[in-house]
């Protein structure tokens, strides 16, 4: 039995949205009625419900209306690779923003640990215990597990040298090292707080291995007063921020 067409009111009720929203999607070229009834009412095909669900989901994921329009017309105007590329670029944008929050959380955790120790010494045990409770509440879950898995997915998609098995020797020298990390205007700076020559050698090897990578600008390594500074520049420098967060959390 052929499914019946849906009026604009019926479609709105099924998905708990307003009819004005459906008219807005129609004006934007995202949703099209298949015809009008004899009395002039919009009639949508049965598949309009799935289309609307797709539009709403894409909006929740942060796609613009222009992007959604292209995704909906993928079969007509764009190749499958183009559509996947559009979705993956959105994924990368989210990862870039997430990295900024992971870096901020990492430095806040270090700050709270230091603050706990300072307050504990200056104000006695009750105040120190209060800040310790704050620290545990703020840092109660481990963001590095996500950073590690996200890094693996990102580097695999981007085809970056960071995904290759040969880097394991470099990573082994950097695992579990204490780091400070901060966002620069054009990238990230990572301070590995240890003057072990093995670390410098690993950092320079990592920078050299990325010299010809198309994803980001070649990193730089410099000696610092309390360790070694690794600086990554470019729009995809967040890959290195996620890498070092994951390496610090990893077991040696």
pLDDT of residue 141: 47
* Co-location of 119 and 180 in the same domain: yes
Q: Would 216 be classed as within a structural domain? A: yes
Asked if residues 102 and 148 have their Cβ atoms less than 8 Å apart, the reply is no
State yes or no: pLDDT of 67 exceeds 70: yes
> Which residue carries 């230091």 as its tokens?
114
* Co-location of 195 and 240 in the same domain: yes
Q: Would 209 be classed as within a structural domain? A: yes
pLDDT of residue 185: 84
Instruction: Compute CA distances 252 → 127, 196, 197, 244, whole Å.
Output: 34, 15, 17, 13
Asked if residues 199 and 193 have their Cβ atoms less than 8 Å apart, the reply is no
Domain boundary residue among 19, 52, 74?
A: 74
pLDDT of residue 1: 43
Q: Would 59 be classed as within a structural domain? A: yes
* Co-location of 21 and 127 in the same domain: no
CA distance 174 to 189: 15
pLDDT of residue 229: 95
Instruction: Select, from the ranges 151-155, 166-170, 184-188, 247-251, the one with the highest average predicted confidence (pLDDT).
Output: 184-188
What are the contacts of 86-94 at 24+ separation with CB within 8 A?
88/157, 90/61, 90/62, 90/63, 92/154, 92/157, 92/236, 93/62, 94/62
Residue 251's CB is within 10 A of a number of other CB atoms, namely: 5
pLDDT of residue 122: 67
Q: Using pLDDT thresholds of 50, 70 and 90, give the confidence band for residue 182.
A: very high
Give mean pLDDT, residues 55-83: 77
State yes or no: pLDDT of 33 exceeds 90: no
Give mean pLDDT, residues 136-155: 53
pLDDT of residue 222: 94
Report the domain count for the chain: 2
State yes or no: pLDDT of 40 exceeds 90: no
* Co-location of 37 and 105 in the same domain: no
Q: Would 234 be classed as within a structural domain? A: yes
Q: Would 80 be classed as within a structural domain? A: no
* Co-location of 158 and 69 in the same domain: no
Q: Is the dihedral of CA 115, 176, 142, 85 positive or negative?
A: positive
Domain boundary residue among 16, 40, 74?
A: 74
Q: Would 81 be classed as within a structural domain? A: no
* Co-location of 119 and 191 in the same domain: yes
* Co-location of 55 and 105 in the same domain: no
Q: Using pLDDT thresholds of 50, 70 and 90, give the confidence band for residue 158.
A: low
Give mean pLDDT, residues 88-99: 85
Instruction: Compute CA distances 208 → 24, 162, 163, 173, 200, whole Å.
Output: 52, 11, 15, 16, 12
Q: Report the CATH number at residue 57.
A: 1.10.1660.10
H helices of the chain, where? 8-15, 19-27, 48-60, 65-72, 74-77, 80-123, 125-138, 144-158, 168-174, 197-209, 238-249
pTM of the model: 0.61
* Co-location of 127 and 226 in the same domain: yes
Q: Using pLDDT thresholds of 50, 70 and 90, give the confidence band for residue 177.
A: very high
Domain boundary residue among 74, 99, 133?
A: 74
Give mean pLDDT, residues 105-110: 84
Asked if residues 86 and 70 have their Cβ atoms less than 8 Å apart, the reply is yes
State yes or no: pLDDT of 140 exceeds 50: no
* Co-location of 226 and 135 in the same domain: yes
**Containing domain of residue 25, as a range?**
6-74
């Amino acid at each position: 039995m052929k499914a019946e067409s849906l009026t604009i009111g019926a479609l709105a009720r099924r998905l708990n949205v307003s009819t004005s929203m459906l008219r807005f999607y129609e004006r934007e070229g995202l949703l099209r009625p298949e015809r009008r009834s004899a009395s002039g009412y919009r009639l949508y095909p049965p598949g309009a419900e799935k289309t609307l669900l797709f539009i709403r989901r894409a909006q929740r994921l942060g796609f613009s209306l222009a992007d959604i329009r292209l995704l909906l017309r993928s079969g007509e105007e764009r190749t499958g690779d183009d559509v996947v590329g559009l979705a993956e670029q959105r994924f990368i944008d989210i990862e870039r923003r997430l990295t900024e929050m992971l870096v901020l959380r990492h430095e806040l955790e270090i700050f709270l640990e230091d603050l706990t120790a300072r307050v504990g010494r200056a104000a006695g045990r009750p105040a120190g215990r209060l800040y310790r409770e704050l620290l545990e509440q703020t840092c109660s879950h481990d963001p590095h597990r996500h950073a590690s898995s996200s890094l693996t997915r990102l580097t695999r998609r981007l085809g970056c040298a960071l995904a290759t098995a040969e880097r394991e020797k470099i990573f082994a020298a950097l695992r579990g090292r204490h780091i400070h990390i901060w966002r620069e205007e054009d990238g990230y700076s990572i301070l590995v707080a240890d003057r072990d020559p093995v670390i410098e050698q690993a950092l320079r090897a990592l920078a050299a291995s990325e010299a010809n990578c198309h994803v980001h600008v070649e990193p730089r390594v410099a000696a610092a007063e309390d360790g070694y500074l690794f600086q990554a520049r470019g729009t995809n420098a967040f890959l290195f921020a996620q890498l070092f967060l994951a390496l610090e959390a990893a077991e040696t």
